[in-house]
Amino acid sequence: MNTAVITGSSSGIGFATAKGLLSQSNRIVMICREGAKSRSAQELLIESTGCSKESVDLI
């Protein structure tokens, strides 16, 4: 399992990149500015990919 650090991962290309990497069993670290939007994106990524909560860190 690789770890990827993704900026702007709460929407757009960053979100799509995060989703794609999680679908390939990678671990990601999300770096985002907006707290509530970031947590919502984190939950959506976990639900839509079926990955564990430990696979998605939020900074």
Q: What is the pLDDT of residues 14-59, one digit of tens each?
A: 999 999 999 999 999 999 998 899 999 999 999 999 999 999 999 9
**Token pair for 54:** 């430990």
pTM summary value: 0.90
Phi, psi of 11 (to 5 degrees): -160, 170
User: What type of residue is 1?
Assistant: M
Q: What is the DSSP string of 32-56?
A: -S-HHHHHHHHHHHHHHH---GGGE
pLDDT score of 37: 93
What is each CA distance from 15 to 6, 25, 43, in whole angstroms?
9, 16, 12
